[in-house]
Chains A and B, each alone.
Chain A
Amino acid sequence: MIKFYIALLVMGVLTQNFVLSRFLGICPFLGVSKKLNTAVGMSAAVIFVMLLATAATYPLNILLEKNGLGYLQTIVFILVIAALVQMVEIVLKKYVKSLYKALGIYLPLITTNCAVLGVVILNIDNISNYAAYSFGFGHAMMNSFAAGAGFMLAMVLFAGVRSRLETADVPKFLQGLPITLISASIVSMSFLGFGGLVEGLGLL
Chain B
Amino acid sequence: MNPILLAILIVAGIGLLAGLLLAVLSKIMAVPVDEKAAEIEEILPGANCGACGFSGCAGYAAALSEGKTKETGLCAPGGNEVSAKVASLMGLAAGTVEPQAAVVHCAGCTEAASRKMIYEGVDSCRMASQLFGGDKSCTYGCVGLGDCVQVCPYDAISLCDGIAVVNTDLCRACKKCVAACPKHLISLMPKKHTQAAVMCRNHDKGALTRKACTIGCIGCTKCVRQCPVGAIGMDNNVAVVDPEKCTGCGACHAGCPTGAIRLVFEAEGPAKPALCEAAE
Contacts and interface: CB of A to CB of B under 8 A. Distances in A.
A121 interface: no
B3 A79 contact: no
Interface stretch (B21-29, B45-53, B222-230, B247-255): B21-29
Interface stretch (B6-14, B97-105, B150-158, B234-242): B6-14
Given A91-B29, A93-B31, A94-B31, A72 B11 contact: yes
A122 interface: no
Given A69-B3, A93-B31, A79 B25 contact: no
B22 A72 contact: no
Interface residues of B, number: 15
Given A83-B22, A90-B26, A67 B15 contact: no
B interface, over-half SS: helix
B274 interface: no
A90 B6 contact: no
B14 A91 contact: no
Contacts of B7: 69, 72
Interface in A74-98: 75-76, 79-80, 83, 86-87, 90-91, 93-94
A90 B14 CA distance: 19
Contact of A94 (B3, B14, B15, B29): B29
A76 B21 CA distance: 16
A93 B3 contact: no
Given A75-B11, A80-B18, A93-B31, A87 B25 contact: yes
A80 B14 contact: yes
Contacts of B15: 79
Contacts of A83: 18-19, 21-22
Nearest to A92: B29
Nearest to B27: A90
A69 B14 contact: no
Interface string A47-71: 0000000000000100110011100
Interface of B: 3, 6-7, 10-11, 14-15, 18-19, 21-22, 25-26, 29, 31
6 contacts: A63-B10, A69-B7, A72-B10, A76-B11, A90-B25, A93-B29
